[in-house]
Structure 1
Amino acid sequence: MDSSLWMPTRPWSLPFLADAEQVSSLRRALRMHLEYWGLHELRDAAELCASELVANVIRHVGAGTPSTLVASLNGPHLRIEIHDPDARALPTLACTGPDAEEGRGMVLVDAISDRWGVELTGDRKVTWCEFRMSATKADRHAPVPRLARAADVLSLYGGSGSASQPVGHGRLGAAVAEEAAINIITDLLYWFRVHGRDADDVLDQAQAHFEAESRLRLP
């Protein structure tokens, strides 16, 4: 089974300081996660727009501004967000000539993405852009609930919410995911023991549920 069918349902976020030296690292991290999600065809456009949104923060809010990059699946769209703490400096489309060196960032985002916008939330703003996924990829965003929940929990144990290596990506990632799964099961067995349950009985029940549900899905 193609593991890319079962994407984590939680958004991926990466805090950073808005600085020109951070842009290449942000692009690499974003590319890695889009590859993990199977969205290879959107990597270049998403990276470029993310870079422009970060550059917009640096230019209009200030270098070193605490910010956050967020990638998520919003229905049939991949959504890229940049969060920053200044709700006053709003990005706008500027009418610039072909030789202009400034003011072209949001024009580029507008041209490459399917749609973009700005949301104000209290003392911060979120500048976002979205890219429509292919019909096949959009269908993959509706995974079997148990597999989706498992992907979410594995990402927590594997630290993919903050680390640069997603759980389950490549051979090393698969080994990390397997170790995370074993740790999850071990922690749950400890939890059941603390609450007075027999670990072997719990495993037997889980195995019985698994086999029953597997039989229901057989053709």
Structure 2
Amino acid sequence: MSGNTTGEYRHRSVLPFEAVPAEVRLLRRSVAAQLGQWGVPHSVAEAELVVTELATNVIKHVGEGVSATLILEWDRERLRVEMHDKNLSLPALPATNCEDECGRGLHMLSVLAADWGTVLTAVGKSVWCEIAAPAGRACHRVERAVHTLRSYQGANEATLSTHARRDEVALKESVVELIADLLHWTTVNGHDPDDILDQAQMHFEAETEAAA
């Protein structure tokens, strides 16, 4: 499972996967990692639930083992989740008294999502929904940090591999390198590195407490 980020929305990630139960778990992890990088960790639980239902519906109603694609798009206010498959049959929301699991996923979308729908595509169909995911102050800081780290890596964001686990490790390594470089800079310019770290920690704790 791999993805890429482009600029159609402010942030976009494309995750092709095989519709089997084991991949659904990996898909949830990839979604959680991606939202964490974008600075919207508070939307992870909702997104994971929606993704699980959409992926499970593909397995049940399109076929186990088929190829499908999950697309995440975030524009600072809403998270859009799209599940693409190659089946041309559009799902319909059944009656609310449906006792089996025939439409549980769609009912879940109707409850969780600010908006949702289905549409035919050139190669099949897409089931999409939008979840309210506004970014707070901390989220803006995370987003800025990720942008800085990507620039620090010397990589173009449009071509950088965003396989969730590999990208997370690369960004973590860049965090360490960037902090080390900043500490060297503070020393060369006559500042106390420990004092700078203490001030940064104070800012972090104050903002975390205010957001709680």
Normalising by structure 1, what TM-score?
0.63
Q: Using a 3 Å threshold, how does the CA distance of structure 1 residues 90 and 164 change in structure 2: closer, same or farther?
A: farther
Structure 1 segment 105-144 matched on structure 2, within 5 A: 105-134=105-134, 136=136, 140=140
Distance 1:21 1:167, change over 3 A: closer
- How far is the alpha carbon of 1:95 from its aligned partner? 1.6
Give the corresponding residue for 1:57: 58
Give the residue type in structure 2 aligned to 1:95. A
The answer on whether the counterparts of 2:76 and 2:133 sit within 8 Å (CA) in structure 1 is no
**Which structure 2 segments of 5+ residues have no match?**
1-6, 179-212
Q: Which residue pairs with 1:46 in the alignment? A: 47
Kept in 2: contact 1:165–1:173 (CA 8 A)? no
SS at 1:11's partner residue?
A: strand
Where 1:97 maps in the other structure, the secondary structure is: coil
Separation of aligned partners in 2, 1:153 and 1:117: 33
Once residues 81 and 131 of structure 1 are traced to their aligned partners in structure 2, the CA distance between those partners, rounded to angstroms, is 11
Report the Cα distance in structure 2 between the residues aligned to 1:167 and 1:156, rounded to whole angstroms: 16
Cα distance in 2, alignment partners of residues 134 and 118 from structure 1 = 24
Matched letter for residue 112 of structure 2: I
Q: CA RMSD in A?
A: 3.4
Alignment partner of 1:11 is 2:12: yes
Q: Is the 8 A contact 1:84 1:126 kept in 2?
A: yes
Offset of residue 71 of structure 1: 0.8
Aligned to 2:94: 94
**Deviations 1:171-195 (CA, angstroms, capped at 9, x unpaired):** 33535x97xxxxxxxxxxxxxxxxx
- Structure 1 residue ranges without an equivalent (≥5): 1-6, 179-219
Q: CA 1:77–1:169 in structure 2 vs 1: closer, same or farther (change >3 Å)?
A: farther
Mapping 1:1-219, distance limit 5 Å: 9-74=10-75, 76-86=77-87, 88-97=88-97, 99-134=99-134, 136=136, 140=140, 150=151, 153-154=156-157, 156-157=159-160, 159-160=161-162, 162-166=163-167, 171-172=172-173, 174=175
Deviation, structure 1 residue 70:
1.1
Runs ≥4 residues deviating over 6 A: none
Q: Give the secondary-structure state (helix, strand or coil) at the position aligned to 1:63.
A: coil
In 2, Cα distance between the equivalents of 1:173 and 1:48? 31
Give the Cα–Cα distance (whole angstroms) in 2 for the partners of residues 156 and 117 of structure 1.
30
